[in-house]
Copies of this chain bind each other. A is one copy, B any other.
Amino acid sequence: MLSKKTKYGIKALTYLGRQGNKIPVQIATISKSENISLKFLESILLTLRKNGILASKKGKGGGYYLLKEPSEIPMTSIMRILEGPISMVPCVSLNFYEKCDDCPDETACAVHKLMIQVRDNTLKIFRNTSLADLCKN
């Protein structure tokens, strides 16, 4: 299941992407428009900034804005920053790999094989989708 953090983050990024320009948007504006708790959204935007997706400006007229063009931001980046691994099990993760405690031989594991398929398909979608695609319509 997608966490609310990720869901809210994507919605906020989509909102910013639809602005089209790099004029800062206040957290409160996004919070109201997308029905997201202001404080929660604040922490989400903070992590997006720390991970190089957003930039911010303090004080009057301040707010958050996208660092890059929406078309330059793949969903893989957004998902990995907000949600973590794209894979359903750590043992098939490309960026967050971890060995399973119970599995002596990973290549013989039925779950492993199945989840590689799922990962490859999901990855294909996220790689072929950028924030710009979400902003359309």
User: Does A2 lie within 8 Å of B121, measured CB to CB?
Assistant: no
Q: Which residues of B have CB within 8 Å of A90?
A: 1
Q: Say if the beta carbon of A48 comes within 8 Å of chain B.
A: no
* Bitwise interface map of A from 113 to 130 toward B, beta carbon under 8 Å scored 1, else 0: 111011001101100010
The secondary-structure label for the interface of chain A is helix
Q: Which of A75, A108, A114 has the most CB of B within 10 A?
A: A114
Q: Whole-angstrom distance between the alpha carbons of A20 and B115 in the complex?
A: 24
User: Does A10 lie within 8 Å of B117, measured CB to CB?
Assistant: no
> With contacts A34-B102, A35-B101, A110-B134 known, is A115 near B85, CB below 8 A?
no
Pick from B10, B85, B115, B125: contact of A118, CB below 8 A: B125
> With contacts A110-B134, A110-B135, A118-B125 known, is A89 near B7, CB below 8 A?
yes
Q: Say if the beta carbon of A56 comes within 8 Å of chain B.
A: no
